[in-house]
């Protein structure tokens, strides 16, 4: 599967910057912002102020990955499944 990387300008704390992400990450960031009743810019600002190292694009990808993982784990718990660590990541197995 080929994914297109898009460079977008965004204002963070009154500073304009450009961020390059795949379309799928932009879409998911927009969905997360809507769930939180925020703008994408506000969500990116929060992620940016909490990041400890690395570039902003990487921080955004890691945030989206963490959000998706948390949602998958919550869904597994609701459905009665358990999670098991496999090589440092989470794998879901039936209860």
Q: Which CATH class is domain 5-93?
A: mainly alpha
Q: Which residue has the higher pLDDT, 32 or 86?
A: 32
State pLDDT tens for residues 24-62: 999 999 999 999 999 999 999 999 998 888 899 999 999
What stretches of 1-95 show up as alpha helix (H) in DSSP? 23-35, 40-50, 56-78
What are the extents of the domains in the chain? 5-93
What stretches of 56-95 show up as alpha helix (H) in DSSP? 56-78
80: alpha, beta or left? (left if phi > 0; alpha if psi -120 to 50): left
Query: Cα–Cα distance between 8 and 57 in angstroms, integer?
Result: 11
In the prediction, which pLDDT does 69 show? Answer: 93
């Amino acid at each position: 599967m080929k994914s297109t990387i898009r460079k977008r300008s965004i204002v963070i704390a009154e500073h304009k910057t450009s961020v390059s992400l795949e379309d799928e990450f932009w879409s998911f960031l927009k969905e997360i912002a809507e769930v939180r009743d925020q703008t994408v810019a506000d969500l990116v600002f929060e992620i940016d102020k909490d990041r400890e190292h690395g570039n902003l694009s990487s921080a955004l990808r890691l945030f989206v990955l963490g959000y998706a993982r948390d949602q998958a784990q919550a869904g597994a718990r609701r459905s009665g499944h358990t999670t098991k660590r496999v090589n440092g990541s989470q794998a879901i197995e039936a209860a």
